[in-house]
Amino acid sequence: MANAKVNKKITSFADATRVTPVPGTDDQFEATIHWDWCGGLHAHGGLTLSLVFSTVRTFFLRKYPSTPQPDPINSDIHFIQPAPRGRVILTVTELSHARRYSTVEVKLRDPAGTICTTATVIQGNLATEVGPSIAVPPVMTRDEIPDRERDCDESIRTPLLIKLMPVIMKMRVLKRKGAKTQSWSRKGAAGLNTKETWVRWEDLNQKLDVISLGVLCDNFLPAPLNFDPTMADLSKYVFPTMCMSIEIKKDPKDAEWLFQEIVCHKIQNGRYDTDVRVLDENGDLVALSKHVSIMAEMKRTKAKFRFL
C-alpha cells in the first residue's frame, strides 16, 4: 500500500526522469513515478519513454565514458500494463554495440517484479553523426506553420481534466484561434483528424531537450476528442496507448517552443493511429512519432483494473 500513497509535491522534469544505479549491478536503475507525471493512477506514457531515454543515456555514459552514445536515435516502446506510482526498476540489456549506433532493450518493472513496459532503443550521438545527406522538400513550409501571436491562443485545460490527467499541467499548448474542439489545423473544420499546436514547458526554467521529446511526443489529447469533445470527461471511454515509436532527427538544443503536427488516419473498431511531426522555430524536422491506441470502455477497464 505504501507504493500507492500520493505525495502532492510538484516534481520537476529533471527529478521525474532521474535514475539511480541499483547497488551491485551495472544494468539496473531505480526511478520513481511521481503523481504529477501520471495519467490517472499510472505513469504517463510519454514520461515513461523519457525515463527510458534517461536510463539508457546513464547506462552508456557509465559503460562507455570515452565513446559516449547519449542520444536515442530511434525507440519502440510497448505498454504491457500501466506502471504504478512509486518505485520502479529499469533493466538494460545490451543487444549490440558499434561505433555509430548501438541497440539495447529496456524493461520497466514494478516493485513486485511485473514487467510493465518494454522498449528497444537504438542509441547514437547526434552531435557527431555524419554521413551522406540529400535535401528533401519539407512536409510543411515555414509559411504554413501558424504564428504563435497572430494565429494561436492558449488551449485551456478544464479542472476535471487536470484532476484526471495531472501530467497535462506540465506543458503550455497553443492551438489555432477559432478552434471549436481541442485543436484544429490549417484545414479548419474539414481537417478534424489533424491538429497543429505549439508547445513549451510551463516551467520556464525547463527547456526542450532530447530527453524531453518522449513527453512532448505524447503531449496531446486523444484523436476521438476532436470529433466529440464530450468524451474528455473520460466517463465512457479511456484512450490508452498500446505502443509508440520515436525517431529523433536532430537535437532541439534546449528550445523554448516546438511545433507539432498531429495526424490521425483512421479510427475504427476501437483502435486508432496517431502520427506526430515535431518541428523547430525554423521549420526543421526534429522528430517523428507514431502511436497505436485504443478506445476502451470505462466500465470494462474498471472491472479489469487495466486497459488491455
**Which tens digit of pLDDT belongs to each residue from 250-302?**
999 999 999 999 999 999 999 999 999 999 999 999 999 999 999 988 765 54
Q: Which ranges of the chain have pLDDT less than 50?
A: 1-7, 302-308
Classify residue 65 by burial, with Cβ atoms within 10 Å: 0-12, 13-18, 19+. exposed
> Which pLDDT score is estimated for 276?
97
Question: Which H or E element spans position 21?
Answer: strand 20-21
- 273 vs 293: CA distance, rounded Å: 6
> In the chain, where does the domain assigned CATH 3.10.129.10 lie?
1-125, 148-308
26-45 confidence digits (pLDDT tens): 999 999 999 999 987 899 99
Please report how many Cα atoms fall inside a 13 Å half-sphere around the Cα of residue 212, on the Cβ side: 24
> Phi and psi at residue 17, in whole multiples of 5°?
-110, 15
Q: Are 82 and 43 in contact (CB under 8 A)?
A: yes
Buried/exposed 167-179: b ≥16 CB within 10 Å, e otherwise = bbebbbbbbbeeb
User: Cell triple for residue 66?
Assistant: 570515452
Q: Do β-strands 271-279 and 285-294 pair in parallel, antiparallel, or remain unpaired? A: antiparallel
pLDDT at 140: 86
Note the Cα 49 to chain centre separation in Å. Answer: 6
65 sits in the region (left: phi over 0; alpha: psi -120 to 50; else beta) called: alpha
Calculate ∠ Cα 166-197-242, nearest 5°.
55
In the CATH hierarchy, which fold is given to the domain comprising 1-125? Thiol Ester Dehydrase; Chain A (3.10.129)
What's the grid cell of residue 301? 477497464
**Residue listed under C-alpha cell 492558449:** 154
DSSP strand pairing (296-297 vs 237-238): antiparallel
Residue 211 Cα distances to 51, 54, 161, 181, 241, angstroms:
8, 6, 25, 30, 20
> To the nearest whole percent, how much of the chain has pLDDT over 70?
90
Distance CA 291, CA 217 (A): 9
How far apart, in whole angstroms, are the C-alpha atoms of residue 122 and residue 69? Answer: 10
Rounded Cα gap, residues 302 and 308, in angstroms: 11
Q: Give the model's pLDDT for residue 227.
A: 84
CATH node for 148-308 = 3.10.129.10
Return the number of other C-beta atoms located less than 10 Å from residue 211's C-beta: 21
Whether the CB-CB separation of 49 and 75 falls below 8 Å is answered with: yes
Q: Provide the pLDDT for residue 182.
A: 59
The answer to whether 85 and 43 have CB atoms below 8 angstroms apart is yes
Distance separating alpha carbons of residues 192 and 140, to the nearest angstrom: 18
Selection from 282, 292, 220 nearest residue 257 by Cα: 282
Cross-strand bridge partners of residue 277: 261, 288
